[in-house]
């Protein structure tokens, strides 16, 4: 398929624009200060992963001399150049936001960062005592000898580089630089709380180390003391075809990441030119990899301040997840699901029923088996605990633990070992593919025979992120979906050949084909003069085949509305190409993560939830699911949610044909914020359910009375 580069945006540059939109929340003066600080931390964390994976991968391609362009026509080298320019600008804007807006506001509100220059006598004594009693004993300096290999430093951890006065000279009589490194590694004392007369005052660890660095180097003279931070390429590939023991190979991969090439050096902007030249040479840093920062390094660490107690007025209103109106706190979930499908929309509705579903399955004597996929779990996962409990009780438990879930490999390896020890049958995914589908199948013996109960989700089985990410959950006992889900699990866990399912669509076998079929179906109906419409909400849209199908539909006159949170390679609003396509992005307090799709289908209103984004990796190299939502109430609810996003005039940004996003303003319209609407609806539904339950009269029975006697 030949592509026109003018029809596509570059994926990486589009993702950077997403991070700029996140930064826009930090710059929003209408938000409370600690909420703005949170978005600064998110922006920094996002950039860290972007560099480790996307920039790391592009560096590898450029170093190999690869010149094949992406759909937008950019070679790896050209992408790196533009990424470097855009990211440098973004980092400057980020730091300007912190130093000129957020930090002054926090200072005024009583949260103050101190430096060596403005410590009180009492604080100076405290810091000196802390350094001598703890910090000096914990941290260990390392010599950095210039004609030897540079010391290996932990990925993304802060270090301080100390340049000492040198007494040695080279053959030309020039001083040989004398360097030492003080790595912080996993030492957790980044924010040191200071004694104060009010509010909260703190000093950063790197500031303390710089103040007393001479105590590490008795008899030496310090010329320069500068904090810095390295990012290494983490896009290390795994040769699964040569992996006799996948877990061992994954452990080896984690070790290999520690030694990946350095692709970014963040360093205090008061560093000398001489030290910059030494470090960039020793680290073999790419030209675009140097970032001189005018303020604190690693803004992601400032999450620690976001939750400070005593400053509630600097935080946003709490939105506790609501108990679903469809599920009582003591209800037997199997009885409810047998009666009717249940749809939850997190985090507006609590994730707790998903945990209860698996915990009830573990404790129910009639449950025979549990089969579940696990991609990213929490550190102390109650779901994993429930699976282990079920196995210990003699149930047949199968867990597909995806060891290749990037940056969660170590945690998943640990869980896999624990699950195996508890008697769970653990499958480490499928060779060559990542298992990204979210499904749990519970097999239960009932008077009428065996019945299967399923949970399908758009998000991970992780109760921590379920409070931060917007996702959909569907509980069902539909026979055909049960048969499909079981066949899907067999295809993963054994040698069963993937086949066509009755209702489910799965990647890499059928989702792509089905999506194009649905899009082209709307195109043909429009050509025939019928109503045609597509509304889709996914995190990323970069797949050329899907984009070309959407262009065909737009040219035919199909109304297409796309809610794409992150990278979007499709160019909307181009005459005779995409003028019928609108693309928006919602950036708000919750991360938009649910994948929800709607096709008018001649009035049949097809609605799906899915684990897959519209990317080649998801459609071709991952195990994914696309699940139809057939209950009319649930289908209408999801469709209403989709439409609400396009009415948002507070947190919505619209993608223009030039690649820039314009924040939508309400003008004379009534203010509508989609996430606020969804939360208020969840609260109202819970309130109505509570009122209804209170109108049911429960008579007190006399002891021993027969409640059925008239």
Q: Where are the beta strands (DSSP E) in 458-605?
A: 469-476, 505-507, 533-538, 559-564, 581-586, 591-592, 595-599
Sign of the alpha-carbon dihedral angle for 512, 514, 518, 523: positive
pLDDT tens for each residue of 511-535: 999 999 999 999 999 999 999 999 9
* Separation in Å, CA 274 to CA 180, 199, 262, 270: 15, 41, 19, 12
- The reply to whether 600 belongs to the active site is no
- Helix or strand (DSSP H, E) at 228: strand 222-232
Q: Where are the beta strands (DSSP E) in 498-556?
A: 505-507, 533-538
Per-residue confidence (pLDDT) for residue 375, from 0 to 100: 85
pLDDT tens for each residue of 608-634: 999 999 999 999 999 999 999 999 999
Look up the pTM and report it: 0.91
Distance CA 76, CA 288 (A): 13
Per-residue confidence (pLDDT) for residue 254, from 0 to 100: 44
pLDDT tens for each residue of 169-182: 767 767 778 899 99
Which tokens sit at 432? 């060559």
Which residue's entry shows tokens 């609590």? Answer: 350
Question: Residues 344-370, buried b or exposed e (16+ Cβ, 10 A)?
Answer: bbbbbbbbbbbbbbbbbbbebeebebb
The mean of the pLDDT values for the chain is 90
Provide, rounded to the nearest whole percent, the portion of the chain with pLDDT above 90: 74
Distance CA 215, CA 136 (A): 8
Residue 201, classed as helix, strand or coil, is strand
Residue 708 has pLDDT above 70, yes or no: no
pLDDT tens for each residue of 291-350: 999 999 999 999 999 999 999 999 999 999 999 999 987 889 999 999 999 999 999 999
Contacts of range 142-147, beta carbons closer than 8 Å, 24 or more positions apart: 142/180, 142/181, 142/182, 142/183, 143/179, 143/180, 144/179, 144/180, 144/181, 144/282, 146/176, 146/177, 146/179, 146/278, 146/282
pLDDT tens for each residue of 294-309: 999 999 999 999 999 9
- Start-to-end CA distance of the chain, whole Å, equals 77
Residue 217 has pLDDT above 80, yes or no: yes
Other CB atoms within 10 A of residue 405 CB: 19
Q: What angle do CA 350, 355, 359 make, to 5 degrees?
A: 145
Nearest to 477 by CA among 437, 511, 446, 509: 446
Q: Which of 148-157, 270-279, 548-557 has the lowest mean pLDDT?
A: 148-157
Distance CA 651, CA 106 (A): 24
Which tokens sit at 154? 């932990």
With residues binned 3-state (H G I as helix, E B as strand, rest as coil), the percentages for the chain, rounded to 5, are 40, 20, 35
Measured in whole angstroms, how far is the alpha carbon of residue 229 from the centre of its chain? 22
Q: Which domains does the chain show, CATH number per domain? A: 5-314 (3.30.1840.10), 333-503 (3.30.870.10), 506-688 (3.30.870.10)
* Separation in Å, CA 47 to CA 15, 42, 229: 10, 9, 13
Residue 146 phi/psi, 5-degree rounding, is -65, -30
Contacts of range 60-68, beta carbons closer than 8 Å, 24 or more positions apart: 60/233, 60/235
Of the candidates 136, 313, 346, 436, the residue annotated as catalytic is 436
Per-residue confidence (pLDDT) for residue 249, from 0 to 100: 47
Per-residue confidence (pLDDT) for residue 570, from 0 to 100: 98
Per-residue confidence (pLDDT) for residue 244, from 0 to 100: 39
Distance CA 546, CA 544 (A): 6
pLDDT tens for each residue of 75-128: 999 999 999 999 999 999 999 999 999 999 999 999 999 999 999 999 999 999
CB 440 within 8 A of CB 357: yes
Q: Residues 6 or more apart from 385 whose CB is under 8 A from it?
A: none
Nearest to 183 by CA among 123, 228, 223, 218: 228
């Amino acid at each position: 398929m030949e592509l026109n580069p003018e029809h596509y945006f570059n994926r990486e540059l589009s993702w950077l624009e997403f991070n700029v939109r996140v930064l826009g929340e930090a710059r929003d003066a209408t938000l409370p200060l600690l909420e703005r600080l949170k978005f600064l931390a998110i922006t920094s964390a996002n950039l860290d992963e972007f560099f480790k994976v996307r920039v790391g991968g592009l560096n590898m391609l450029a170093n190999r001399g690869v010149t094949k362009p992406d759909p937008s026509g950019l070679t790896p080298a050209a992408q790196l150049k533009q990424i470097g320019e855009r990211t440098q600008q973004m980092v400057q804007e980020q730091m300007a936001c912190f130093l000129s807006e957020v930090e002054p506001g926090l200072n005024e509100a009583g949260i103050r960062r101190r430096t060596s220059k403005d410590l009180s006598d009492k604080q100076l004594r405290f810091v000196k005592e802390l350094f001598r009693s703890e910090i000096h004993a914990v941290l260990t300096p390392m010599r950095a000898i210039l004609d030897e290999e540079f010391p290996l430093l932990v990925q993304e951890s802060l270090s301080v580089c100390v340049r000492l006065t040198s007494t040695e000279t080279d053959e030309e009589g020039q001083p040989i630089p004398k360097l030492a490194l003080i790595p912080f590694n996993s030492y957790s004392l980044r924010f040191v709380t200071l004694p104060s007369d009010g509010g909260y005052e703190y000093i950063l660890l790197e500031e303390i180390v710089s103040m007393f660095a001479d105590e590490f180097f008795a008899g030496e003279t310090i010329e320069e003391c500068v904090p810095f931070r390295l990012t290494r390429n983490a896009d290390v590939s795994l040769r699964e075809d040569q992996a006799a023991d996948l877990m061992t190979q994954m452990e080896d991969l984690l070790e290999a990441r520690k030694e990946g090439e350095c692709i970014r050096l963040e360093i205090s902007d008061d560093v000398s030119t001489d030290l910059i030249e030494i470090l960039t040479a020793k680290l073999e840093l790419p030209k675009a990899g140097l970032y001189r920062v005018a303020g604190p390094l690693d803004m992601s660490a400032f999450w620690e301040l976001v939750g400070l107690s005593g400053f509630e007025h600097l935080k946003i209103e709490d939105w506790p997840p609501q108990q679903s109106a469809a599920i009582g706190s003591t209800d037997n979930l199997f009885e409810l699901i047998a009666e009717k499908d249940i749809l939850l929309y997190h985090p507006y509705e609590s994730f707790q029923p998903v945990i209860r579903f698996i915990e009830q399955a573990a404790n129910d004597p009639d449950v025979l088996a549990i089969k579940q996929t696990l991609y990213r779990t929490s550190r102390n996962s109650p779901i994993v605990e429930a699976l282990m409990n079920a196995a210990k009780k003699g149930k047949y438990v199968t867990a597909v633990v995806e060891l290749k879930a990037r940056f969660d490999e170590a945690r998943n390896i640990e869980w896999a070992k624990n699950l195996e020890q508890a008697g769970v049958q653990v499958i480490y995914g499928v060779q060559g593919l990542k298992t990204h589908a979210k499904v749990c199948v519970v097999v239960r013996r009932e008077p009428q025979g065996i019945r299967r109960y399923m949970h399908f989700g758009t998000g991970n089985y992780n109760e921590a992120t379920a409070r931060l990410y917007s996702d959909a959950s569907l509980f069902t006992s539909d026979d055909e979906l049960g048969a499909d889900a079981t066949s899907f699990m067999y295809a993963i866990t054994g040698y069963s050949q993937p086949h066509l399912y009755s209702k489910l669509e799965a990647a890499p076998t059928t989702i792509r084909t089905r999506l194009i079929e649905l899009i082209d179906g709307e195109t043909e109906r429009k050509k025939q003069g019928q109503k045609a419409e597509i509304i889709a909400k996914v995190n990323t849209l970069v797949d050329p085949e899907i984009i070309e199908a959407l262009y065909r539909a737009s040219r035919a006159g199909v109304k297409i509305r796309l809610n794409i949170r992150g990278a979007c390679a499709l160019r909307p609003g181009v005459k005779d190409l995409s003028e019928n396509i609108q693309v928006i992005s919602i950036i708000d307090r919750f991360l938009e993560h649910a994948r929800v799709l709607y096709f008018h289908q001649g009035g049949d209103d097809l609605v799906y939830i899915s684990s897959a984004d519209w990317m080649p990796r998801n459609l071709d190299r991952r195990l994914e699911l696309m699940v139809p939502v057939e209950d009319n109430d649930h289908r209408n609810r999801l469709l209403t949610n989709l439409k609400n996003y396009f009415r948002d005039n507070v947190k919505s940004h619209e993608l223009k044909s030039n690649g820039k996003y314009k924040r939508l303003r309400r003008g004379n319209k009534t203010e509508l914020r989609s996430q606020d609407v969804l939360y208020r609806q969840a609260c109202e539904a819970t309130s109505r359910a509570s009122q209804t339950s209170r109108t049911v009269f429960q008579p007190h029975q006399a002891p021993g009375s027969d409640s059925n006697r008239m």
